[in-house]
């Protein structure tokens, strides 16, 4: 085997240096990519730790409220269907006594979660602006754990009556302590099952 010439030695050294530099470049890229991902993960973990520390600091605050809910939230009735029917009947009577028109009504499928059990109804009510507004103000009731989940309130532009007429579409719910009697149901949404009672 012959000895390499000076020119060949230089070319070989240049090739080896190029390979070494390219290897280092790929190594640096790999390390930078992995370290960048690690930094991002560390930042995410720090945020999660801060959230957990905040929750821990507020635990006494929420324990007091949990105790209040457990002592004040009504127990679930034996018959959820009957309770929902009674709720609707009470609202119908109130609407009738206030001389408002109940144009549509429906029951919403009961909901059961780990923390509460819910019955709800949807109503469409029409009447004088002051009457409908006064009625809406009576619906939320802390003692009954009754809440307006949603409502739409708009003027009846087709009305020819002197006093402005309002149409209100309201979803009203009551909450109870959970019991084992009711099977779990999906949380109400746009596709929640409703039973229309208007024409019954």
Give the Cα separation of 155 and 53 in Å (integer).
49
pLDDT confidence of residue 1: 59
The tokens for 113 are 């979660």
Question: Can you give the three-state secondary structure of 84-102, one letter per residue?
Answer: HHHHHHHHHHHHHHCCCEE
Domain spans of the chain? Answer: 1-57, 80-196
CB 126 within 8 A of CB 139: no
Say if residues 84 and 107 touch (Cβ distance below 8 Å). Answer: yes
For 10-25, what is the mean pLDDT?
Answer: 81
Q: CA-CA distance, 149 to 51, in Å (whole number)?
A: 28
Q: For residues 3 and 93, what is the distance between their CA atoms, to the nearest angstrom? A: 111
Q: How far is CA 91 from CA 28, 52, 101, 172, in A?
A: 71, 43, 12, 10
Is the CB of residue 171 less than 8 Å from the CB of residue 121?
Answer: yes
What pLDDT shows up at residue 182?
41
What's the CATH fold of domain 80-196? Alpha-Beta Plaits (3.30.70)
Q: Would the pLDDT of 197 be above 70?
A: no
Euclidean distance between the first and the last CA atom of the chain, given in angstroms as a whole number = 107
Collapse the DSSP code of 153 into the 3-class scheme (helix H, G, I; strand E, B; otherwise coil) and give the result.
Answer: strand
Gap between the Cα atoms of 3 and 23, Å rounded = 28
The tens digit of pLDDT for each residue in 124-177 reads 999 999 999 999 999 988 888 999 999 898 988 887 788 888 999 999 999 998
Q: Rounded to two decimals, what is the model's pTM? A: 0.59
Which of the listed ranges 11-15, 27-31, 76-80 does the model predict with the highest average pLDDT?
76-80
C-alpha to C-alpha distance for 179 and 118, rounded to whole angstroms: 11
């Amino acid at each position: 085997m012959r000895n390499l010439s000076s020119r060949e030695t230089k070319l070989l050294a240049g090739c080896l240096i190029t390979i070494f530099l390219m290897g280092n470049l790929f190594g640096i890229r790999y390390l930078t990519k992995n370290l960048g991902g690690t930094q991002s993960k560390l930042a995410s973990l720090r945020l999660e730790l801060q959230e957990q520390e905040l929750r821990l600091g507020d635990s006494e605050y929420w324990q007091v409220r949990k105790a209040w809910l457990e002592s004040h939230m009504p127990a679930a009735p034996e018959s959820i269907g009957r309770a929902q029917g009674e709720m609707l009947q009470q609202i119908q009577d109130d609407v009738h006594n206030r001389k408002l028109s109940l144009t549509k009504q429906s029951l919403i499928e009961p909901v059961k979660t780990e923390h509460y059990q819910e019955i709800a109804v949807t109503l469409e009510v029409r009447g004088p602006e002051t009457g409908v507004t006064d009625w809406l103000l009576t619906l939320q009731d802390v003692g009954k754990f009754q809440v307006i989940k949603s409502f739409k309130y708009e003027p009846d532009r087709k009305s020819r009556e002197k006093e402005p007429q309002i149409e209100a579409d309201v979803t009203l719910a009551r909450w109870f302590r959970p019991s084992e009697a009711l099977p779990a149901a999906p949380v109400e949404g746009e596709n929640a099952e409703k039973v229309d009672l208007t024409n019954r």
